[in-house]
Amino acid sequence: MEWSSPDIRAAVWSLKLAVFDFDGVFTDNRVIVSQDGTESVCCNRADGLGLRRLESANITPIIISTEVNPVVSARAKKLCIECIQGCDNKLAALKGQLKRRGLHMKNAAFIGNDINDASCLKVVGLPVVVADAFSEVKPLARLVLSRKGGAGAVREFCDHVFFIKSEIKG
């Protein structure tokens, strides 16, 4: 489907929460490991402004990641968004976040890239994957972004949602 589709636009209008996987969405899924075991990843700086746009559209962004890694929490802190790490059951975490906010699945988008995102992609109102998502999860998405993970996919999602929500206000 396309962003201009009435079904997608209706799903965007219902959004209150955008849940992002970290590795493969904010990053290009690569990791650089130093001799001392320190890990580094590459992220796209433009994602930060995109997240601010998302928040200005009254949508709360959060990260739910399977990984337990200081780089994930450091990036989330820099972006000023909530981060849940070490999450073996992303669906339970998603349900908890929705319950805490008094929201329903239709009020959530999930942006992922791999099989550990499948349970969430199957139930949210707007399931989205990055361009280079693994083939097993692409069929679960209503939208496949044109950008790859770590290459502005987060910003692409945020900008489209912002512009759709802005049309409603204007």
For residue 164, the domain's CATH number is 3.40.50.1000
Q: Is the pLDDT of residue 168 over 80?
A: no
> How much is the pLDDT for 1?
67
Distance of CA 149 to the CA centre of its chain: 10
User: Residue 101 domain-assigned?
Assistant: yes
Local structure of residue 146 (DSSP, 8 states): S
Local structure of residue 148 (DSSP, 8 states): P
pTM of the model: 0.94
Backbone φ and ψ for 78, nearest 5 degrees, come out as: -60, -40
User: Residue 1 domain-assigned?
Assistant: no
Domain count along the chain: 1
> How much is the pLDDT for 170?
47
What is the domain extent for residue 142?
6-169
User: Residue 95 domain-assigned?
Assistant: yes
User: Residue 123 domain-assigned?
Assistant: yes
pLDDT in tens, 83-129: 999 999 999 999 999 999 999 999 999 999 999 999 999 999 999 99
Average pLDDT over the chain, rounded to whole? 95
Residues above pLDDT 70, as percent of the chain: 98
- What pairs with residue 128 in β-bridges? 111, 143
Run of H or E including 95: helix 90-101
pLDDT in tens, 18-42: 999 999 999 999 989 999 988 889 9
